[in-house]
Structure 1
Amino acid sequence: MINTRITELLGIEYPIIQGGMAWVATHELAAAVSEAGGLGIIAAGNAPGEYVRDEIRKLREKTDKPFGVNIMLMSPYAEDIVDIICDERVPVVTTGAGNPGRFIDRFKKLGIKVIPVVPTVSLAKRLEKLGVDAVIVEGTEAGGHIGELTTMAVVPQVRDAVKLPVIAAGGIGDSRGLVAAFALGADGVQIGTRFVCSTEAKVHEKYKEEIVKAKDRDAIVTGRSTGHPVRVLKNKLTREYLEIEKSGASSEALEGLGTGKLRLAVVDGDVENGSVMAGQIAGLVCDIKSCKDIIQDLFNGTEDVLNRLSSLKGGEDNE
């Protein structure tokens, strides 16, 4: 049992939150992460409310451990999903793509923990005033929609600026990243890409294979000109996208090119014409294993990392 402010807040064994990845974070993956001692998350994405309700109930058939639902606040179904989360008494809500302020009081009255994803100090401070329970501070190393600041830079700045528990996200895929996140001041970590390559993730095998074979520079950013950059693995789609983006295409044209492409990759396995969202740690992912083994590996390796740090300190003492 590892005790941090996050494990105490959420009633979980390990301070690990699974990322709310659209089309990836289904009830199967979320239940497996929760059963392994972390906090599994169902991603609502752009799905209608009743789909989310069904996912919540299916998860509860697999586990009685704490879990959460991620709401993309720009979704046309966001209001319906909030209603369903309240009806179903979901323990934890994570949010992205917007400000959850108008829903916070409603969640809090039901005892639902609210943890938004933030890319900047200013947003973390604003949401603290609104009464959120913790913040997920996501660096640009993450997969999918990203900000501009790195995890290394933004996590300690948020840690200094707020009193809330801080969850680090982006660029964390092994024990070294885990220890680094805590050294930066985090109380827990959110992990996405590594869990995509789990046996329980209902993701097309070709999608997983693309991550496993990815190299260090394969996770690139598209859509900077639109103000909504996205990190994905290089393929035919990204080459086409970057070419028309460079030519000055409109945001509407770029959005049209990307519509439906994540599902094309995740569900249909078209990893050339689909959007293979993954973080920069893709180059560290070399295999596919169970969520339980992934979490155990993260913590089993921390002793070696800490021993290396201890040896550095010992070297200084001997000078």
Structure 2
Amino acid sequence: MGKTLKIGELEARIPVIQGGMGVGISLSSLAGAVAGEGGIGMISTAQIGFREPDFDTNPFAANYRAMEKEIKKARKIAGNGILGVNIMTVTRNYEQYVRTAVKAGIDLIVSGAGLPVDLPAYTQGSGVKIAPVVSSLKSFTVLCRLWERKYRRFPDFVVVEGPKAGGHLGFSEEELETYEKNSYDSVIKSIIEKAREYGEKAGIKIPVIAAGGIFDREDMRHAMELGADGVQVGTRFVTTEECDAAGAYKEAYIQAEKKDICIVKSPVGMPARAVKNRFLKDTEEKPVKLGHCYQCISTCKQRDIPYCITEALVNAAKGDMEHALVFCGENAWKCKKIEKVKDIMEEFAQAAYEKGEFS
């Protein structure tokens, strides 16, 4: 047997992590299917309780309850597969989201949108694997130093997310322009080298997962040739039968052309990538009147925003495209049909075989 993606005692047969996509895009159906096919399935916790009856009045309770439900449902689909949750560091009540996931028996937690400085404290004694999402060698180094000093531990793995990713991005608009002109490969290589250095120091292996713009077997092969231990794939899984998003959301990808993929300024203060649509045009000309706050992101400044990002993303998940913010990766325009998770995973498995990762 050749190399598989090993994270501690966890072992994925195919070195693919399905990216966590919120709101409501990667829940139990998609995550369970990917895990069941030998990858690692990820549930996004971002406003996960939007379908709960008390979401408007008590979003935190609704979200915690929905997390437990979705993890339980995903387990039934995944069998013995590996499941994780993606929890943004800037989520209000971040600690409680993490503790809820641990209590629900999740295998691993990935946290981006800021550095998850105290994630080890919230998972201590649980055995849950933890990883940051980073976009630079500096951020990875800073986090490792903090975790080593405060908790005497290092990440179990690291997700390196490049500028072609979907949704909120860990880059300024100026950086995005620079990275689009230059290769991001050197950043990935530098983090791989640093992860090896820290791993030797700690006596462990710290796998590096390349993310952002990984769409097909060629992208995966390139990442593995750089030295990555696996890849994270988001956009490609949206247009699958198993994806939890509404059909209209998937159709927005299928109908999108390359020119329709754009960078927008998110209401919560970060650049983001989305499908250009009528909603974005309308809100640029006339902000939407805000009627309710769903307590989502700590960086949101309610007085200054043109629309509520929770409402716009919930509308997208439900298929209300007239009032939807449709997050996507740079390669969303390549989605031309509805696929099955099984077929996509087989494609990535073949890429790994070609690279000689499996026997």
Q: TM-score, normalised by structure 1?
A: 0.85
Please say if residues 26 and 245 of structure 2, whose CA atoms lie closer than 8 Å, have aligned partners that are also in contact: no
Distance in 2 (CA, whole Å) between partners of 1:290 and 1:176 is 19
Q: Please state how far the C-alpha of 1:106 moved relative to its aligned partner.
A: 4.3
Q: Please state how far the C-alpha of 1:252 moved relative to its aligned partner.
A: 4.1
Q: Please state how far the C-alpha of 1:105 moved relative to its aligned partner.
A: 3.8
Please say if residues 221 and 351 of structure 2, whose CA atoms lie closer than 8 Å, have aligned partners that are also in contact: no
Q: Please state how far the C-alpha of 1:111 moved relative to its aligned partner.
A: 1.2
Farther-moved stretch of structure 1 (211-220 vs 156-165): 156-165
Return the structure number with greater relative CO, CA threshold 8 A, min gap 6: 2
Q: Please state how far the C-alpha of 1:172 moved relative to its aligned partner.
A: 0.8
Read off the aligned partner of 1:119 and give its amino acid letter: S
Please say if residues 222 and 242 of structure 1, whose CA atoms lie closer than 8 Å, have aligned partners that are also in contact: no
Against the structure 1 CA distance between its residues 242 and 142, is the aligned structure 2 distance closer, same or farther, given a 3 Å change threshold? Answer: farther
Q: Please state how far the C-alpha of 1:302 moved relative to its aligned partner.
A: 6.3
Within a 5 Å distance, the mapping from 1:202-281 to structure 2 comes to 202-223=244-265, 227-242=269-284, 252-254=303-305, 256-267=307-318, 269-281=319-331
Work out whether 1:146 is the aligned partner of 2:137: no
Distance in 2 (CA, whole Å) between partners of 1:137 and 1:262 is 25
Distance in 2 (CA, whole Å) between partners of 1:273 and 1:73 is 27
Read off the aligned partner of 1:15 and give its amino acid letter: P
Aligned to 1:158: 191
Read off the aligned partner of 2:244 and give its amino acid letter: K
Farther-moved stretch of structure 1 (276-285 vs 95-104): 95-104
Please say if residues 113 and 170 of structure 2, whose CA atoms lie closer than 8 Å, have aligned partners that are also in contact: no
Q: Please state how far the C-alpha of 1:259 moved relative to its aligned partner.
A: 4.0
Query: Pick from 197, 212, 227: which aligns with 1:170?
Result: 212
Please say if residues 10 and 82 of structure 2, whose CA atoms lie closer than 8 Å, have aligned partners that are also in contact: yes
Distance in 2 (CA, whole Å) between partners of 1:256 and 1:192 is 25
Distance in 1 (CA, whole Å) between partners of 2:245 and 2:258 is 22
Against the structure 1 CA distance between its residues 93 and 280, is the aligned structure 2 distance closer, same or farther, given a 3 Å change threshold? Answer: same
Q: CA RMSD in A?
A: 2.6
Aligned to 1:80: 96
SS in 1 for 2:259: coil
Against the structure 1 CA distance between its residues 141 and 27, is the aligned structure 2 distance closer, same or farther, given a 3 Å change threshold? Answer: same
Please say if residues 46 and 77 of structure 1, whose CA atoms lie closer than 8 Å, have aligned partners that are also in contact: no
Percent of aligned pairs with the same residue?
A: 32
Against the structure 1 CA distance between its residues 2 and 279, is the aligned structure 2 distance closer, same or farther, given a 3 Å change threshold? Answer: farther
Aligned to 2:235: 193
Against the structure 1 CA distance between its residues 165 and 252, is the aligned structure 2 distance closer, same or farther, given a 3 Å change threshold? Answer: farther
Against the structure 1 CA distance between its residues 154 and 300, is the aligned structure 2 distance closer, same or farther, given a 3 Å change threshold? Answer: same
Tell me how many residue pairs correspond in the alignment.
301
Q: Please state how far the C-alpha of 1:100 moved relative to its aligned partner.
A: 2.2
Q: Please state how far the C-alpha of 1:299 moved relative to its aligned partner.
A: 3.2
Distance in 2 (CA, whole Å) between partners of 1:138 and 1:175 is 18
Against the structure 1 CA distance between its residues 199 and 2, is the aligned structure 2 distance closer, same or farther, given a 3 Å change threshold? Answer: farther
Runs of 5+ consecutive residues of structure 2 not aligned to the other structure: 49-62, 148-153, 197-205, 288-300
Query: Pick from 104, 115, 132: which aligns with 2:155?
Result: 132
